[in-house]
Structure 1
Amino acid sequence: MAIEPSLLDTCTAHLKICLKNIHKVIQKANEILCSISQPSVCSEVLLSSRGADYISGVVEVYRLSKRMEGGMKTHNIDCERLGFILRDIELSWNNLQAFLSICPSLLLALPSQSVLDYAAEGVFSDLSPCLQSCCGVCLMDRPVEETPSEVKTGMLNVGGHPYHTSCANFWLHCVDSTLPVMACYSNCSACMRLKNYDS
């Protein structure tokens, strides 16, 4: 099902601002590590508890970009501008992984690419899920693995709209103080059933 043009514009603007902020966070991590001139000092910083916590946070931000990519595939959102930002995020992430390679124990703690491949999970046939049942940030309609132990958690419900905890956290701290609320397709079968049930 194709998204209506006005809704597509809203989704694209929403995704663009979030992805740009994700890129800024990962780029900032690269700048910080690049400013450390000696590998031994960089290794010491990364292996400290604060350094490990910081990298863990950056990993979670990268995971959000992969969920957003999966949400885009789920809803058939194919936008060249968003593709460029996703490519920049991947380049920054690959650069960051090169810094992390000086600490093999940190590399082992990173989630595997298969765990991050929400895009493959996000491919639906003709039927996109109801946007009002999807996370208002990443547009994925299911709980996700929020922790390294891959324990599935539910979604937060804020003002009657669902959000993954990490998605809401990133949006509120790095994008805007108000969580985004997505309208749904005018011909969404789930919304139509709900309207018929209520009447």
Structure 2
Amino acid sequence: MQDQDNRELATECSQVDPYILHLQKCLSNIHKVIQKTNDILCSISHPSVCSEVLLSSRGTDYISEVLEVYRISKRIEGGMKTLHLDYDSLQLALRDIELSWNNLQAFLSLCPCVLQMLPPPSSLDYKVKGTSSDPVCCLKRCCGVCLLEEEPLGGESVDNMLMHGGHLYHPSCANFWLNCIDSNLPVLSCHKNCCLYAPS
């Protein structure tokens, strides 16, 4: 029933703005990845076994990959600010991701050395330059998955982004999309509020 409601809401929002369906698809799959990790760790009955799993090389690599997926949700949050997309459905999806992430961190607290691998929350704050009255930046300067142009200090710059089919993508965003959503990278047209938008 909830999946049907989500699909109906996604369809309704996509009629308002085609970017909404794209972002909902991303956030929904991010939530699935993090929730699946929670489910896996929750199924381990003994804390000592959970610690052993987390401390193994495969376990730490897996947590690092999940962290990258969570990082994409924070980029999307920044991309939403860039494009001035403030929809309740997207905010609810971000909230669900935060709840699942907080639950995951509770499991990671069983292994302080694994918990220390996580970056401080401030480093995941993808702030966008400018104000809400500024024109929306052109998608040609944004990642085609998270829709974010600006990066935090020490983050991936445009120089580190991949160019594919005339569109930019963060490597981790592209990897997530290809492995968790679709075998083809997304190609969105410029937003109607883009500063360089010229309708055909």
**Aligning the two structures, in what range does the TM-score lie when normalised by the shorter sequence?**
0.7 to 0.9
Give me the TM-score of the superposition, normalised by structure 1.
Answer: 0.85
For 2:94 and 2:50, how far apart are their aligned partners in 1? 27
Structure 2 residue aligned with 1:168: 174
For 1:89 and 1:123, how far apart are their aligned partners in 2? 26
- Following superposition, the deviation at residue 6 of structure 1 comes to 7.3
For 2:87 and 2:74, how far apart are their aligned partners in 1? 16
- Following superposition, the deviation at residue 189 of structure 1 comes to 3.5
For 1:127 and 1:12, how far apart are their aligned partners in 2? 19
Contact 1:70 1:123 in 2 (8 A): no
Q: 2:161 pairs with 149, 155, 161, which one?
A: 155
Structure 2 residue aligned with 1:185: 191
* Counterpart secondary structure, 1:111: coil
Counterpart residue type for residue 96 of structure 1? L
For 1:167 and 1:144, how far apart are their aligned partners in 2? 16
- Following superposition, the deviation at residue 182 of structure 1 comes to 1.5
Structure 2 residue aligned with 1:41: 49
User: What per-residue deviation string (whole Å, max 9, x for no partner) do you get for residues 148-182 of structure 1?
Assistant: x8575611000010000000000000001111112
User: What per-residue deviation string (whole Å, max 9, x for no partner) do you get for residues 65-85 of structure 1?
Assistant: 000011001110011111111
* Counterpart secondary structure, 1:162: strand
Q: Which runs of 5+ in 2 are unaligned?
A: 1-12
Q: Which runs of 5+ in 1 are unaligned?
A: 193-199
Counterpart residue type for residue 121 of structure 1? V
1:139 and 2:166 aligned: no
Change (3 A) 1:87 1:187: closer
Counterpart residue type for residue 131 of structure 2? F
Change (3 A) 1:132 1:8: farther
Counterpart residue type for residue 38 of structure 2? N
Structure 2 residue aligned with 1:29: 37
1:111 and 2:119 aligned: yes
Counterpart residue type for residue 26 of structure 2? C
* Counterpart secondary structure, 1:190: coil
Q: Percent identity?
A: 61
* Counterpart secondary structure, 2:17: helix
1:84 and 2:84 aligned: no
For 1:18 and 1:34, how far apart are their aligned partners in 2? 24
- Following superposition, the deviation at residue 185 of structure 1 comes to 3.5
Counterpart residue type for residue 67 of structure 2? V
1:128 and 2:136 aligned: yes
Structure 2 residue aligned with 1:97: 105
For 1:11 and 1:90, how far apart are their aligned partners in 2? 21
Question: Which aligned segments of 4 or more residues in structure 1 are displaced greater than 4 angstroms?
Answer: 5-8, 149-153
- Following superposition, the deviation at residue 123 of structure 1 comes to 5.9
Contact 1:16 1:82 in 2 (8 A): yes
Size of the alignment, in residue pairs?
Answer: 185
